[in-house]
């Protein structure tokens, strides 16, 4: 077997050729003038040539590296490949048919009989690039899909939340007023012949409730808080409510400015709790008290009526519970039979 030391007359390019003919790595050698002196079969295949003679003696740069990816001219003076060194850089080669492909190349000096030449090895990284691009695009698409899904969920949740809030406000506000209208009219009907004066008062009260109900609907449709709340605050709004109740209401309301959303929630909470007193408690007196402490607002609605209000398991007081839960608060109900009912809601102020 011949080795480089013992074959002093063997041209280094020929010697390389004998070793490199069979390997899969594309390799070729460029002489000091920059002309191709050797290209192994793997290099020929990668560059689209059939025969080494087609490349032999051709200027390396002008044959396989003469244009930029955008097709513009690539001056030989700028070419890094003819400065032999180990690089691992990525550049574009041009195939025989003019198409281009990205390569990672390594160029190293080699002494030949013609002088200092360069041996160049390269790897076609088209497939790797493609895989990287596909992976990147897939990651981006997945991230976008996840974001779109999250955005859609947020929109649906916001819409559901808004719908639930509207349903609660309708239930605890206008619906109660129209219910009171009917109750008052029914009572008026019973007293029509026996106590016409009282019946007249009840009809007037019914008209007032219906008017308040219409007002409430108008405000809800406009997406605003009850006008009296905005204009005069919680205590005044509850005062106005008290005037329409068939029992005495005592108020003890902290004089603090609450965020508008919270204030209207507190108002609707009291409105529904007091509507329940009207409908179910047969009470003489009820009390509404708010207490501010510890970053929380506590609202107590108490009556001296029949008690026995349902447990959460029965679905009782569901809108009140939902309203308080939506605000991150808690609701406690104490309602022993014959000993009145106490609702105690505790809401965080933030
Ligand atoms: N203050 C109260 N005193 C006595 N029982 C009450 C009182 N509040 C509520 N209840 C009882 O709890 C039940 C549940 O009240 P809830 O407000 O959930 O329903 P409702 O008032 O009957 O119907 P809606 O509120 O939908 O008009 C009532 O049906 C009633 O039996
Ligand atoms: Mg109710």
CATH number at residue 313: 3.30.565.10
Region of 71 (left: φ > 0; alpha: ψ -120 to 50; beta: rest) is left
Q: How far apart are CA 281 and CA 50, in angstroms?
A: 101
Kind of pairing between the strands at 341-348 and 330-334: antiparallel
**Total residue length of the chain:** 350
Which atom number of ligand 1 is nearest to the Cα of residue 319?
18
Cβ atoms of 64 and 48 closer than 8 Å: no
Distance between CA atoms of 154 and 148, rounded to whole angstroms?
A: 10
Q: Is residue 302 part of a domain?
A: yes
Ligand 1 geometric centre to CA of 344 (Å): 15
Cβ neighbours for 7, distance < 8 A, ≥ 6 positions apart: 15
Sequence-separated (6 or more) residues with CB below 8 Å from residue 200: 188
* Straight-line distance from the first to the last Cα atom of the chain, in angstroms, rounded to the nearest whole number: 88
- Could you give the 3-state DSSP secondary structure of residue 94? strand
Residue 83 confidence (pLDDT) = 62
Protein residue whose Cα sits closest to atom 1 of ligand 1? 277
**Does residue 22 sit within a domain?**
yes
Q: Is residue 145 part of a domain?
A: no
Residue 225: predicted pLDDT? 67
Q: Cα–chain-centroid distance for residue 19?
A: 60
Largest separation between any pair of C-alpha atoms in the chain: 138
CA distance 229 to 169: 14
| Domain stop point among 70, 92, 124 | 124
Per-residue tokens: 343: 């609702």
Listed residues: CB within 5 A of ion ligand 2 = 276
Q: Is residue 174 part of a domain?
A: no
- Other C-beta atoms closer than 10 Å to the C-beta of 217 total 16
Nearest to 238 by CA among 287, 277, 181, 309: 287
Question: Separation of 274 CA from ligand 2 center, angstroms?
Answer: 9
Beta bridge partners of 296: 293, 348
Ligand 1 pocket test, pick from 300, 308, 316 with the greatest ligand atom count within 8 Å of Cβ, gives: 316
Query: Are 85 and 107 contacting, i.e. CB atoms less than 8 angstroms apart?
Result: yes
Number of domains the chain is built from: 2
Last-in-domain residue among 124, 148, 183:
124
Q: How far is the CA of 303 from the centre of ligand 1 (A)?
A: 13
Of the residues 124, 159, 190, the one at which a domain ends: 124
User: Do residues 236 and 135 lie in contact, with contact meaning Cβ atoms separated by under 8 Å?
Assistant: no
Name the residue with tokens 């002494």.
111
Domain that holds residue 103: 12-124
For the beta sheet containing 248-252, the strands, ordered from the edge strand earlier in sequence to the opposite edge, are 248-252, 285-293, 296-303, 341-348, 330-334
In a domain, 301, yes or no: yes
3-state secondary structure at position 7: coil
Rounded to the nearest angstrom, the distance between the alpha carbon of 224 and the centre of ligand 2 is 23
| pLDDT tens-digit profile, the chain (350 residues) | 444 444 455 576 677 667 777 888 898 888 888 899 888 899 999 999 999 899 999 998 899 989 988 889 988 888 776 665 545 667 889 999 999 999 888 888 888 788 888 888 888 998 988 999 999 999 999 988 888 787 778 777 777 777 777 888 888 888 888 988 999 999 999 999 999 999 999 999 999 999 989 988 887 777 666 778 878 889 999 998 888 788 999 999 998 888 878 898 899 899 999 999 998 999 999 999 999 998 999 999 999 999 999 777 677 888 888 889 888 899 999 999 999 999 999 999 87
- Asked whether residue 204 is domain-assigned, the answer is no
108: domain CATH number?
3.30.450.20
Q: Residues near ligand 1 with C-beta < 6 Å?
A: 276-277, 279-281, 303, 305-310, 316-318, 341
Of the candidates 218, 227, 223, the one whose C-alpha atom is nearest the C-alpha of residue 162 is 223
Per DSSP, the chain holds a count of helices (H) and strands (E) of 9, 10
Question: Is 150 a member of any domain?
Answer: no
Q: Which atom of ligand 1 is nearest to the CA of 310?
A: 12
Quote the pLDDT of residue 330: 92
Where are the alpha helices (H) located in the chain, listed in sequence order? 12-20, 41-47, 60-64, 126-172, 174-191, 196-221, 227-242, 260-276, 318-326
DSSP code at position 73: B
Q: Which-ligand-closest: CA of 305? A: 1
Asked whether residue 67 is assigned to any structural domain, the reply reads yes
Q: Which atom of ligand 1 is nearest to the CA of 179?
A: 27
């Amino acid at each position: 077997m011949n080795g480089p030391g013992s074959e002093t007359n063997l041209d280094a390019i020929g010697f390389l050729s004998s070793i490199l003919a069979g390997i899969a790595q594309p390799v070729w050698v460029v002489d000091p003038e920059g002309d191709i002196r050797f290209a192994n079969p793997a290099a020929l295949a990668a560059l689209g040539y059939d025969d080494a003679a087609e490349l032999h003696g051709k200027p390396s740069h002008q044959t396989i590296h003469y244009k930029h990816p955008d097709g513009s001219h690539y001056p030989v003076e700028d070419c890094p490949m003819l400065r032999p060194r180990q690089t691992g850089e990525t550049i574009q080669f041009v195939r025989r048919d003019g198409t281009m492909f990205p390569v990672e190349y390594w160029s190293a000096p080699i002494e030949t009989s013609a002088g200092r030449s360069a041996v160049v090895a390269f790897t076609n990284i088209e497939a790797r690039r493609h895989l990287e691009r596909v992976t990147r695009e897939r990651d981006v698409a997945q991230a976008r899909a996840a974001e779109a899904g999250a955005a859609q969920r947020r929109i649906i949740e916001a819409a559901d939340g808004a719908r639930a809030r509207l349903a609660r406000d309708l239930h605890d506000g206008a619906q109660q007023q129209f219910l009171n209208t009917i109750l008052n009219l029914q009572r008026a009907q019973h007293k029509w012949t026996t106590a016409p004066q009282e019946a007249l008062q009840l009809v007037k009260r019914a008209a007032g409730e219906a008017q308040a109900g219409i007002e409430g609907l108008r405000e809800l449709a406009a997406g605003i808080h009850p006008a009296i709340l905005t204009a005069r605050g919680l205590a005044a709004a509850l005062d106005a409510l008290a005037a329409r109740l068939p029992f005495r209401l005592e108020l003890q309301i902290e004089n603090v400015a609450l965020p508008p959303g919270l204030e209207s929630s507190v108002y609707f909470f009291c409105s529904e709790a007091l509507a329940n007193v009207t409908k179910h408690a047969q009470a003489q007196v009820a009390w509404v008290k708010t207490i501010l402490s510890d970053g929380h607002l506590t609202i107590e609605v108490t009556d001296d009526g029949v008690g026995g209000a349902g447990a959460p398991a029965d679905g009782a007081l569901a809108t009140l519970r939902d309203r308080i839960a939506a605000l991150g608060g808690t609701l406690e109900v104490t309602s022993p039979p014959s000993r009145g009912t106490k609702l105690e809601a505790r809401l965080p102020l933030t």
